[in-house]
Amino acid sequence: MGEVVRFVSQSERERIRLIREARAMYDSVFPPAAPLDEQNDRAPMVHATTGGELLS
Protein backbone atom coordinates (compact mmCIF):
# COMPACT_ATOMS: atom_id res chain seq x y z
CA MET A 1 0.00 0.00 0.00
CA GLY A 2 1.38 3.38 -0.95
CA GLU A 3 4.27 1.74 -2.81
CA VAL A 4 5.87 3.91 -5.50
CA VAL A 5 7.38 2.24 -8.54
CA ARG A 6 9.92 4.33 -10.40
CA PHE A 7 10.71 3.64 -14.04
CA VAL A 8 14.42 3.36 -14.76
CA SER A 9 15.41 3.10 -18.40
CA GLN A 10 17.74 0.40 -19.62
CA SER A 11 20.40 2.99 -20.46
CA GLU A 12 20.23 4.40 -16.91
CA ARG A 13 20.60 0.89 -15.42
CA GLU A 14 23.59 0.26 -17.70
CA ARG A 15 25.14 3.58 -16.66
CA ILE A 16 24.75 2.70 -12.97
CA ARG A 17 26.23 -0.76 -13.57
CA LEU A 18 29.25 0.69 -15.38
CA ILE A 19 29.85 3.24 -12.62
CA ARG A 20 29.76 0.50 -9.95
CA GLU A 21 32.11 -1.67 -12.00
CA ALA A 22 34.55 1.22 -12.52
CA ARG A 23 34.44 2.07 -8.79
CA ALA A 24 35.20 -1.55 -7.88
CA MET A 25 38.20 -1.59 -10.25
CA TYR A 26 39.46 1.74 -8.91
CA ASP A 27 39.12 0.56 -5.30
CA SER A 28 41.02 -2.64 -6.11
CA VAL A 29 43.95 -0.59 -7.48
CA PHE A 30 43.74 2.30 -4.99
CA PRO A 31 42.17 0.97 -1.76
CA PRO A 32 40.24 3.56 0.22
CA ALA A 33 42.33 5.04 3.03
CA ALA A 34 41.50 4.12 6.61
CA PRO A 35 39.95 6.89 8.75
CA LEU A 36 42.57 9.26 10.17
CA ASP A 37 42.28 8.03 13.76
CA GLU A 38 42.98 4.44 12.62
CA GLN A 39 45.96 5.58 10.54
CA ASN A 40 47.40 7.45 13.52
CA ASP A 41 47.12 4.34 15.69
CA ARG A 42 49.15 2.21 13.25
CA ALA A 43 51.61 4.77 11.89
CA PRO A 44 54.96 5.11 13.67
CA MET A 45 55.55 8.51 15.19
CA VAL A 46 58.55 10.11 13.50
CA HIS A 47 59.90 13.55 14.30
CA ALA A 48 62.95 15.19 12.80
CA THR A 49 64.49 18.51 13.69
CA THR A 50 66.25 20.89 11.35
CA GLY A 51 67.68 24.12 12.63
CA GLY A 52 65.40 24.17 15.64
CA GLU A 53 62.21 23.49 13.66
CA LEU A 54 60.12 20.46 14.54
CA LEU A 55 58.97 18.45 11.52
CA SER A 56 56.49 15.59 11.69
Question: Could you report the per-residue pLDDT of 1-56, keeping only the tens digit for each?
Answer: 789 999 999 999 999 999 999 999 999 999 988 766 655 566 665 555 555 555 54
- The predicted model scores a pTM of 0.48
Q: Which helix (H) or strand (E) holds 21?
A: helix 10-29
Asked if 48 and 55 count as a contact pair (C-beta separation under 8 A), the reply is yes
pLDDT for the residue numbered 27? 95
pLDDT for residue 33: 85
CA distances from 18 to 12, 14, 30, 32 (A): 10, 6, 18, 19
What residue type is 51 in one-letter code? Answer: G
User: How confident is the model at residue 8, as a pLDDT?
Assistant: 92
What is d(CA 19, CA 26) in angstroms, rounded to the nearest whole number? 10
pLDDT value of position 2 = 86
Q: What is the pLDDT of residue 21?
A: 98
